Amino acid sequence: MSYTRLPWTAAFNRSGGKQITSRRNCQSAQRKVVSRRWTAGLRSLFHPGKSVAGIVFIQLLVSSTLSILMAQAVTTRVEITAPLFKDALGQERSIVEQQVAEVLASQGSAYFSFLDWNSDQAAGAATPKLVVRLHEKEVGIGSKIYAAFLMVIEGSEGTIPQIPDIELYKSWQPDLPNHDSERLIDDLQQLIVERFENADFRARLQSDFLAQIAIANDLIVEPNRVVLPVSGRKLKASDESELLVHFLARRPQGVPGRGRMELNPLVTIASPPREGLVQCLVDSFFFEGLSEPIRSTTWDPQIESVLRNKTAVQVYMKRYVKDVTLGIFNNGLAEEP
């Protein structure tokens, strides 16, 4: 088995059944050992009432695909609902909304390439959406115009908790661009680019929104390893990224059990039959049929035994650290080098 050589990644020693985590023990790939904690997430295992991800998972159907899965799509939208702008812009409003939505999609794709970003305004209700809404609030002597970042999952709209509304204009300011579509596009584009350049904003967007979007609905289980059936070239995730997996599997008595595990993407496999897919390190593993969680850097045969009987899987990007240099930005539109 050969692997694409990546900085600070790890290969798997098939003969010894160990997940190698040092440069000394692996010449084809390397990985920086990062200590990780077993999270308190077991308490939140399958709580549909507390997370959109839980609701989505309960609706899972059995998946048997073993080919490379297409990335989950995320649609971007810009909505101008502030009366001061909506009425003044007239027919130009839709032009502004579409052009800024394209910038929003480009920024999302540049920083979170594990998802397929687009600005398709005809996307169905089931497609996750990132919305920027220009809205108006009355104050004592007039009104203020704000930009809000909102998320839509399974047709339900909600605020992104840690991203507050941003004040853009005041109704009494003399240079209000409610009749100047070009300036409004420039202002909104600058706002979006600045937000995405901010590491705190990206972390909050990931944890509060993107982490609720399943990026795969299957895992490939082979002797001594787990493979994510997603293109490594598309994923572009370093081994500091964290994947969260919820699954159902049949127990010996035939009763389905619930499970949860955390993975770290390690290497993009460079040889058939899994060429292009991502091999993962199992950081933690929990299943209702096991007496205790598995927390080890060595392969435990119970993992394969359980996952061979999986009936449903949902994989989420809990934490994303991109492993390549970001693209070049051209007037707010991101281009891969």
Q: What is the pTM of this model?
A: 0.75
Q: What percent of the chain shows pLDDT beyond 70?
A: 74
**Alpha helices (H) in the chain, listed in sequence order:** 52-58, 83-89, 92-111, 181-197, 199-208, 232-235, 301-307
Do 91 and 25 lie in a common domain? Answer: no
Asked if residue 54 is part of any domain, the answer here is yes
pLDDT of the residue at 144: 97
- Quick one: pLDDT band at residue 217, thresholds 50, 70, 90? very high
First to last CA, the chain: 30
Rounded average pLDDT over 214-237: 92
User: Comparing 294 with 70, which gets the higher pLDDT?
Assistant: 294
Do 150 and 278 lie in a common domain? Answer: no
Do 79 and 206 lie in a common domain? Answer: yes
Do 197 and 218 lie in a common domain? Answer: no
Do 239 and 310 lie in a common domain? Answer: yes
Rounded average pLDDT over 41-59: 38
Task: Look at residues 326, 72, 331 and name the one whose alpha carbon lies nearest to residue 202.
Answer: 326
Domain that holds residue 231: 12-71+214-319
Do 78 and 192 lie in a common domain? Answer: yes
pLDDT of the residue at 297: 66
Query: Which of residues 160, 189, 210 is at a domain's end?
Result: 210
Rounded average pLDDT over 173-187: 96
Rounded average pLDDT over 311-330: 76
Asked if residue 1 is part of any domain, the answer here is no
Angle between helices 92-111 and 181-197 (to 10 degrees): 20
Asked if the model's pLDDT at residue 34 lies above 90, the reply is: no
Query: Which of residues 210, 245, 266 is at a domain's end?
Result: 210
Asked if residue 332 is part of any domain, the answer here is no
How many domains, the chain? 2
- Quick one: pLDDT band at residue 193, thresholds 50, 70, 90? very high
Asked if residue 261 is part of any domain, the answer here is yes
Rounded average pLDDT over 54-80: 58
Render pLDDT for 125-142 as a digit per residue (tens, 0 to 9).
Answer: 788 999 999 999 999 889
Asked if residue 325 is part of any domain, the answer here is no
Give the mean pLDDT of the chain: 79
Rounded average pLDDT over 46-53: 40
Asked if residue 284 is part of any domain, the answer here is yes
pLDDT of the residue at 1: 34
Do 63 and 141 lie in a common domain? Answer: no
Residues 6+ apart with CB under 8 A from 91: none
- CA 65, distance to chain mean position in Å, is 21
Angle between helices 181-197 and 199-208 (to 10 degrees): 80
57-71, 163-177, 284-298, 308-322: the lowest-pLDDT one? 57-71
Asked if the model's pLDDT at residue 4 lies above 90, the reply is: no
- Quick one: pLDDT band at residue 252, thresholds 50, 70, 90? confident
Task: Look at residues 178, 203, 202, 199 and name the one whose alpha carbon lies nearest to residue 188.
Answer: 178
Do 127 and 205 lie in a common domain? Answer: yes
15: its two tokens: 């003969």
243: left (phi over 0), alpha (psi -120 to 50) or beta: beta
Query: Which of residues 169, 195, 210 is at a domain's end?
Result: 210
Asked if residue 324 is part of any domain, the answer here is no
Diameter of the chain measured on Cα atoms: 75
Do 78 and 16 lie in a common domain? Answer: no
Do 67 and 78 lie in a common domain? Answer: no
| Rounded Cα distance, 92 and 112, in Å | 30
Asked if residue 179 is part of any domain, the answer here is yes
Do 94 and 199 lie in a common domain? Answer: yes
Render pLDDT for 253-275 as a digit per residue (tens, 0 to 9).
Answer: 888 899 999 999 999 999 899 99
156: exposed, middle or buried (Cβ count in 10 Å: 0-12, 13-18, 19+)? exposed
pLDDT of the residue at 51: 42
Do 66 and 148 lie in a common domain? Answer: no
Task: State the CB neighbour count (10 A cutoff) for residue 321.
Answer: 13
78: its two tokens: 């810009």
